[in-house]
Amino acid sequence: MIRPLIHALLLLLVVPATASAQIIDGTPMDGEAIVADLSENLIAITSNFTGAEILLFGNVDAPDNVTPALQRDIVAVVRGPYEPLVIRRKERIAGIWVNTDAYDVPAAPGFYHVASTRPLDEIASTRVFENAEIGLPALDISTGDDAIVLPVTYRDAVVRAKLNEGLYAEAPGSITFVGPSLFRAEIALPANVPVGSYVATVYLVRNGAISGQRSINLIINKSGVERFMYNFAQKTPFFYGIAAVLVALFAGWVAGTVFRER
């Protein structure tokens, strides 16, 4: 409770001086601007990592207090890292399950979380959110080639699998206003969250239109022995494979020696 309160107090102090500089790719409407940040910008994954929660907090800076909070909405999207996918379909042929059709997706987010003050369909039209890829229906999962259309069933299968793994989520109502302009939300990161670079984009929506936005970087990385092993496997997979075989042989030899002595 103390950390969020400290962040909120600091935010109130810095908003008047920095709010106008925090807007990225968005022009404030009616003099309103948005400033936001995360409680942590670096998450370290160790051997006992079971997931984490980060606090997203911010403030709507307005020239006056005429507009009540209920007339504003906040939508936050945390996404990343983008990586290629191969989507395959399995069919049972002669009693054996085999891969048939396959589609390559050049880039899809490994993690995608949408938080909002209300359900998206109550905040703005579908077209508004499609342009910004806000919400699972608007998420671009495609082949990247206009000549090759990814069937809807394949796209839905990817989204469904990510939802089951806890890597994709929509959380309407998870962003709450604390007073007339301060807002906050807790973003849950599951234990299987992929390592890499993330971007948290916070949108200010008013009268069904996006009137401002703020982007914050987030890094999730392994630390300690886990980081060494991960980098070893990624950068030198051949030698990592040899090392894994040698370790397995050594472990087998030790086990055999112990049981022989008994």
Distances 255 to 179, 227, 243, 246, 247 between C-alpha atoms, Å: 64, 28, 18, 14, 12
Question: Number of helices (H) and strands (E), helices first, in the chain?
Answer: 6, 10
User: Of the candidates 116, 224, 213, 89, which has an alpha carbon nearest to the alpha carbon of residue 171?
Assistant: 116
Interatomic CA distance for residues 111 and 213, integer angstroms: 20
119-142 pLDDT per residue, tens? 999 999 999 999 889 999 999 888
Put simply, whether the predicted model's pTM sits higher than 0.75 gets the answer: no
Mean pLDDT, residues 38-43 taken together: 93
Return d(Cα 157, Cα 193) in angstroms, integer.
Answer: 19
Distance from C-alpha of 249 to C-alpha of 165, rounded to nearest angstrom: 34
One-letter amino acid at 168 equals Y
Domains delineated in the chain: 2-78+109-222 (2.60.40.3880), 224-262 (no CATH)
Mean pLDDT of the chain: 79
Write a three-state SS string for 145-203: CCCCCCCHHHHHHHHHHHHHCCCEEEEECCCEEECCCEEEEEEEECCCCCCEEEEEEEE
List 60's β-bridge partners, or say none.
Answer: 34
The model's pLDDT over 52-68, given as tens digits with 9 standing for 90+, comes to: 999 999 998 866 554 55
DSSP state of 41: S
Provide the pLDDT for residue 40: 92
59/214 Cα distance (integer angstroms): 11
Per the model's pLDDT, the better-predicted residue between 214 and 252 turns out to be: 214
Q: What is the pLDDT of residue 257?
A: 74
Torsion of CA 153, 154, 158, 161, to 10 degrees: 60
